[in-house]
Each structure stands twice: as C-alpha cells, then as structure tokens.
Structure 1
Amino acid sequence: MSQLFSPYQLGGLSLANRIVIPPMCQYSAQDGNATDWHTIHLGQLALSGAGLLIIEATAVEPDGRISPADLGLWSDENEAALGKVLDSVRRWSEMPIAIQLAHAGRKASTDKPWKGGGQLGPENGGWQVHAPSAIGFETYPRPPRALTSDDIARLVEAFAEAARRSVRLGIAAIELHGAHGYLMHQFLSPLSNKREDEFGGSFENRMRFPLQVLDAVKAVVPAGYPVGFRISGTDWVEGGWDIDQSIAFAQESKARGADFIHVSSGGLSAAQTIPVGPSYQVPLARAVKEATGLPTIAVGLITEAEQAEAIIGTGEADMVGIARGILYDPRWPWHAAAALGASVKAAPQYLRSQPRRFSKLFG
C-alpha cells in the first residue's frame, strides 16, 4: 500500500491522503475580497485529489497585505466574498480547505510579481509598513516603523478575529504564517528583531509575539480544530534564525497546543544562500519531526511521485506539500496515484477519463 496515499488524522481533521497543497499567493483580490479568480483557482485544486488545500496567505489587516491585491479576512465584506467562493467550491468537492493567516510586516506594500514586485509608496497605492524594528528588507527603499506594544496587542486580536471568521466560514484548519520573512518570522529572527523590550533580545522574547498569536487563535477555535505554524527552518544567513531555534520554537508551540508544523526556509534576507535542489528543505522538516513528534509538512522541490512516497515511507515527514508543481500539473495527485498503484477520489464528471491501464485509479 502506498504510504503517500494512506489516510492521516490531523487533530480532529481526517485527510484522505498525505498530499497537501500549500498556500500560494495569487495577487488577484480586490480590497482583500476574493474574486472569480479564486473560484477558478481553488475550484480546480479542490478537484485534484489532494488530501488538504490551504488558501493563500490571507492578511489579518489591510496593512498586512504583501500587495494591494492580496486576500484579506479583516472585514465582513472579506468574509462574505470568501464565503461565496467556498460555497461554490464545496458544491463540487469534499476536500478539506484550510487557510493561512498572515501579516507581511516590513515586506508589505509591494507590487504584483508580474509587475516587478517592487515596494510601493503611498503615491502608488502603497502604505507605511511596520515591523518589530525599524530595519527594512534590504532591497526595499523605505524603512518600516517599529511596532509599539499597543500595536502588537492589536495585531494579536486581529489574528484572533480572523480565526473567528475562519471558523464561521467552515474552514477546516488554520496555518499561522511564521515563514518567508513576514511579520512573525521578523519577530523570530535576530537579524530583523533588534527590540529591547519583552518582544526582543532573548530567544524567549523573540518567540513571544508568535506564541501570543497561537494562544489567542487556539482560544477562539473549537476543541480539536487544527492550528499550526508555517516556519522557515533557517534564514540561510550566518547569525540568523536556524534549525535549532526552529526546533525549540516548535517544541514550545506543541506545548501550547499547536497541531502541526509546515517547514519551509528563507525569505528574511537578501543575503540568504540557499542550496536549491530536489527535496532541499526536507531535512529541515525531518529534524523538527524527530525532535518534537509534531505532525510535519515537508516542502521543497518535491516533484515526483516516488520522491514524495519515499519522504512519507521513511518517516521524514507526515505530509508533503506540492505547490508550484500542482499549478503546473493540477492533476498531480492523479498521476502520482497511477504511478504508485494507489487510488484517488475524482469527481463523477471525470470518471470516464480514467485510462484503461489504470482501471482502479478512481477508488
């Protein structure tokens, strides 16, 4: 039996298999509101046969968006727009849908990637960005303003309110974005956090804001509702956030009730040197899993069925994230199941597409 296609229990959520579609920003929202593009995008992914689909980074306040076209969940209008999309997708798919709640911090207020991705000023639809410290991302010209303690308390509540909205929308799980150089990662890394109050300096202080967010979100979701973190296992910069700190953070998160860890890397500094190659981030996920026992999602150029099967089969991670690869091939789980002799659930409208040589593909 394929381990990749074996069922998995994530907190109170049952997954049909170990394939996760990670959050992937679409830069196609209007004032934080989901649009028809999200219906098309999430709809096709929800018919892919994966075990779990995670909605893209969704800002908890307008200033937390990476770009003006980012998805948000700070208002009733945002909630209603996303609800309309989810109602449409769920009419045709039973796949569990999670969401990633996020704040971009000093990496906010940028243009869409296909328009260069540069930092936007107020005159171009941008805004003043904020961060743990007044230290800007290296390639952006405008520095952030340091958050006050009152700002931090307000943001903790903003995450909690977005979690309440997520529960009302019937979203199956929440992933808190602590990776890729965004706000919670900025608090965690000593490269971007130079504060001298209770939110900076020591490792315990640098963890404080993300852990307060976790506590606040756990307090407003039902018992058994999965909540976890996406983290960067390392900054890939000397003197920055590293795997040992990641393990310690995951251990503390587990003690506070976190249900999973989704391990990526990088994104905090332009000085990063990343040894990119197939499965290049999987050792980070393995290290966290071995040290903490937390359910772990591995990512990083996982493109082949046998590669994903080996990651699960050897216990390197509990789930694998297929992101850009599934945009390129939206039926990746179908093709993986065929290669591994497994079966996958397909919409009845597509049952006639089953190749004769894979007669048991659609179980």
Structure 2
Amino acid sequence: MAPQDLNRGVPGLEYFTPKHNANPGAPFPNAQQNVPTPTLFKPLTIRGTTLRNRILVAPMCQYSTAHEGPTTGALTDYHIATLGHYALKGAGLVFIEATGVQANGRISPNCPGLWTDAQIPALRRVSDFIRSQGAQSGIQLAHAGRKASTCAPWIAGEKTEGGKKKVSVKAGVDVGGWPDNVVGPMGGQEWAWDEKAADDESGGYWAPRALSTKDIEELVLDWANAAQRAVKAGIDVIEIHGAHGYLIHQFLSPVTNQRTDKYGGSFENRTRLLIEITEAIRKVIPDTMPLYLRISSTDWMEETEKGKSLGSWDVESSLRLAKLLPGLGVDLLDVSSGGNHPEQRINMFDSKDYQIRIASQIRRELKKENLSLFIGAVGLITEAEQARNIVEEGGAANAKTGDTEIAKEAEAAVKVTEAKDGNEPSADVVLVARQFMREPEWVLKVAWQLGLDVAWPNQFLRIRFPKL
C-alpha cells in the first residue's frame, strides 16, 4: 500500500487534514450496538443535505473579528479553532454566529459580517474546515437593529452600575461603533432598547433612527446578497435570525413596531419584512440548500402593562407565522424566546423547559394541518439545572460513571427528539450552545452515556471512551 493511502487526506483542501475512518459522532455503520440507536443519533435529510446526527451547534457570538482595516468583519483562525473543534468532535451541524448583512447590522464592532465579497475567503476557510470533519456548516444571517453598536459583553462586565455589572455598553466611533447609524422600525431616544435617556450614564444602547421604505428595500436586497456570498463560501445551511430582539423581531412585535405604513400595524404588515427577506433569499440560493429561521416564540411581555396596551409577539403569533413558512421555502423553525424588551417577565437564559414546550406545541399544530416543517429546540440542554427539570431525578439508566449531570443531559436530549408511547417528539433537532463551549466533546459524551458506540476522530481514537 502506498504511503499516501495509509493516511488519506480530505480532498479539495490546500492543506492536509486526515480523512476520518468513520464520521465522528455517527454510529458505526453495520456495527452491533448494545442499545437501539436513538433518533438523536439517526441521520436526518433536509432538502439536499443529510445531518449525521440531530445535535446542532447553535450560533454563539464571540466578538472576535477586526473592527477596522481590510479584514473588518472577516472570520479568523480563532473561528477555525473553536467552530472547527465542535465539528471534529461530532456535531451534526455547526452554525457560525450572527453575521451582519450590513455593516451597521452587527451587534458589536467585533462581530462578523458578510456585506462585501472581501469577507468570502475567510468564511470559506472556516466552512471548509467544518465540512472536512464531516459536519455541515451553517451561517446565521442577521441585523441587530436597535441593539447594534454595543461593546463585547466582557467590556460591559468591567463596568458597574449600582454595584452590579452592566449588561451593555455603547460602542462609540472611537472603538469602531456607529452611533449615528443604529436603525430600527421606530426612531428616537424613547426607542433605545433600554429606554434610557441619552445623558443617562447607565444607558447601554444608542437611539435608533427609523428605517424608511427605501432603506427596507435595500436591506432586503443586502440580505439576499449576503446569502449569495454564503453559497460562494461553501456554506451548507443558512439561518435567518428573527429572534432575541434584533431587527426582524423588532418588526414582528407590536411592542417595538408602531409604524403606520405597510410594515406596521397588522400581523400581515409586521411580518412583511421577514417574508420579503425569506422570499429574496430563497430565490438566490440553490433549491437543494436548506433555509432555517430562528424566532423568539414569545416576547414574554403578555403580563406587562406595555404588552397589555400595545399587544406583543406571543405563541399564537408564532403559530400563525409557522403555518406560512413551508409555503415560503423555510425548512426548519428554530424556536427560542425573549430578548425584545427589558421588561420581559422571564429570563431567556433561565427558561428551563418553556421553549421545549412551545416548540412541541408548534410541531403538533403543524402536523395536524399536514404542514411540513422541521422544528428545532434550543436552550434546553445547556445547564444541568435545566436537564434536571426535564428528566426524572436519578439520572440515566445507562450511566456508567459518576458523571450524573451529563447522563441527565443525554436523557434530556433523547427525550426531546424521540417519539414515545404514541406521542410525537417535541422537536426534530436540538441546538446546543454554551454546553459546547464547556465541553466540545459533548456529542461523544452523550453517545457514551446512552450506551451507543459512535465513531471518534482518528486523532483521538487512543483516548476514546471504552465500549459499554
């Protein structure tokens, strides 16, 4: 056997990385398993792509691109090191974080963008590595709207307000911000996200200016142009970010959208921007390419005075929107919640299983009407406390170590995607974020706790967990 056949490289790359003997994170083909393969580890085909398992890395802001110079907004080796490692360790799909379709659509000056062709090569480099490890590469296209031009959270964390760490700090021109070009459905100081006065030192957000109809038309075009660049960069999946109080969510909710033109007022008008963006993207990407959408399924504002007087985006609104999505060419709805207003009555980082229940409700309603839309559950497996509230106390029956928390997380992940006792699963995929930052090998650990023999990357075979 020739030396090059002993350690084959992944073809089509300008550098060498070994081609794995078997796809990491996937059960060994034709292997004799001790347990039935849970749905969580079964492949899932969506349009022209097939996920090797149902565990997806959710987009996570890293605030790690240059804010000035020729590489502004371009991904770096940091993103290969982090995102590439999740792919290496078995995730089915790895999402690149919220990426601005316009320069003023970034959350911070150090967030990535895709508003120019100059940003394509760095994106392709990251995407190529993710794919070389057997995962799909995804990108979340976004516009922060009135939550734009803020500093990285660790900058805010260094500042205090009344003895407490600040949540947000405005990014001024001196650090690459754009205080005069923050935009939203509405304009004026009263529409700043935290609703604080311009001279209030505790304020962490700039006042937006209201987008004109012409601005919106350009925005829709820029979203489509960014999608085309993502295709050129070799991305497998595009997700539209319509959640967490960013621009699309701001248009969806009557709490933040009081416009009187065709983009405000009725449900049809408030969803118009999202629909136009979705249609524009679907026209310019391949028919074989999946299109995902992330929404906040509720503002969590129903019980507030503002929500009662203005109305809010709620679960019923999300259900109504979800029924439109298959006809628009959306393949998967990624169900999150909150983030649109500081008065929300739930902390979206401590939402336990509420989002799972909402995802399950949407999935059931769509099934009743024979509508085809995959559902993703997010925010459910990231904390041990959440896992404890999803599964029964006592841990997983198949746990072979004292690591009861990962066992509970494994059981929780299975429960969400598995049909049981005639009941439909809550979701088709799970999107996990912070737990991957803590444990990049989370997929491999979950499989082991479930008693499932999955492939490991070649370079890690010598330290793989023993077969159960």
Q: TM-score range by the shorter chain?
A: over 0.9
Secondary structure class of the residue paired with 1:4: helix
Q: Which amino acid aligns with 1:15?
A: L
Q: CA contact under 8 A between 1:79 and 1:165: conserved in structure 2?
A: yes
Structure 2 residue 102 is matched with structure 1 residue 66: no
Residue of structure 2 equivalent to 1:313: 418
**Which deviates more, 282-291 or 107-116?**
282-291
Q: Tell me by how many angstroms 1:89 deviates.
A: 4.0
| Equivalent residue for 1:270, pick from 334, 342, 351 | 342
Residue of structure 2 equivalent to 1:287: 361
Aligned-partner Cα distance in 2 for 1:83–1:258: 24
Asked which structure has the greater CA Rg, the reply is 2
Aligned-partner Cα distance in 1 for 2:126–2:205: 36
Q: Tell me by how many angstroms 1:85 deviates.
A: 2.6
Residue of structure 1 equivalent to 2:315: 243
Deviation sequence 1:218-273 (CA, Å, 0-9, x none): 00011121112100010111232100101111111222111110000001000012
Amino-acid identity (%): 45
Secondary structure class of the residue paired with 2:354: coil
Aligned-partner Cα distance in 2 for 1:158–1:347: 38
Query: Structure 2 matches for 1:121-140, cutoff 5 A?
Result: 121-127=172-178, 128-134=181-187, 135-138=191-194, 139-140=203-204
Q: Tell me by how many angstroms 1:133 deviates.
A: 0.9
Secondary structure class of the residue paired with 1:204: helix
Secondary structure class of the residue paired with 1:199: coil
TM-score, normalised on structure 1?
A: 0.95
Q: CA contact under 8 A between 2:109 and 2:171: conserved in structure 1?
A: no
Aligned-partner Cα distance in 1 for 2:47–2:340: 30
Query: Structure 2 matches for 1:4-153, cutoff 5 A?
Result: 4-30=40-66, 31-91=72-132, 93-116=133-156, 117-127=168-178, 128-134=181-187, 135-138=191-194, 139-153=203-217
Deviation sequence 1:58-95 (CA, Å, 0-9, x none): 1101000000000111112211221223334444x121
| Equivalent residue for 2:237, pick from 173, 188, 206 | 173
Residue of structure 1 equivalent to 2:377: 298
Q: 1:104 to 1:114 in 2, by over 3 A?
A: same
Q: CA contact under 8 A between 2:139 and 2:237: conserved in structure 1?
A: yes
**Which deviates more, 81-90 or 203-212?**
81-90
Structure 2 residue 262 is matched with structure 1 residue 198: yes
Secondary structure class of the residue paired with 1:298: strand
Aligned-partner Cα distance in 1 for 2:453–2:210: 51
Q: 1:254 to 1:228 in 2, by over 3 A?
A: same
Aligned-partner Cα distance in 1 for 2:59–2:129: 19
TM-score, normalised on structure 2?
A: 0.74
Q: CA contact under 8 A between 1:47 and 1:347: conserved in structure 2?
A: yes
Q: CA contact under 8 A between 1:190 and 1:241: conserved in structure 2?
A: yes
Residue of structure 2 equivalent to 1:361: none
Q: Which amino acid aligns with 1:35?
A: T
Q: Tell me by how many angstroms 1:357 deviates.
A: 3.7
Q: Which amino acid aligns with 1:118?
A: V
Aligned-partner Cα distance in 1 for 2:264–2:279: 19
Secondary structure class of the residue paired with 1:180: coil
Q: 1:179 to 1:277 in 2, by over 3 A?
A: closer
Q: CA contact under 8 A between 2:124 and 2:235: conserved in structure 1?
A: no
Structure 2 residue 447 is matched with structure 1 residue 349: no
Aligned-partner Cα distance in 1 for 2:249–2:296: 8
Deviation sequence 1:146-204 (CA, Å, 0-9, x none): 00000000010111001101111111111000000000000001011111000000010
Residue of structure 2 equivalent to 1:327: 437
Q: 1:187 to 1:53 in 2, by over 3 A?
A: same
Unpaired runs of at least 5, structure 2: 1-35, 67-71, 157-167, 195-202, 368-372, 383-408, 420-424
Deviation sequence 1:268-311 (CA, Å, 0-9, x none): 00001216353331011112211224201101231400001011
Q: Which amino acid aligns with 1:307?
A: A
Structure 2 residue 238 is matched with structure 1 residue 164: no
Aligned-partner Cα distance in 2 for 1:86–1:214: 22
Q: CA contact under 8 A between 1:280 and 1:300: conserved in structure 2?
A: no
Q: Tell me by how many angstroms 1:141 deviates.
A: 4.9
Q: Tell me by how many angstroms 1:9 deviates.
A: 1.4
Residue of structure 2 equivalent to 1:214: 278
**Which deviates more, 2-11 or 255-264?**
2-11
State the Cα RMSD in Å: 1.4
Aligned-partner Cα distance in 1 for 2:467–2:45: 31
Q: 1:141 to 1:63 in 2, by over 3 A?
A: closer
Unpaired runs of at least 5, structure 1: 359-363
Aligned-partner Cα distance in 2 for 1:355–1:307: 21
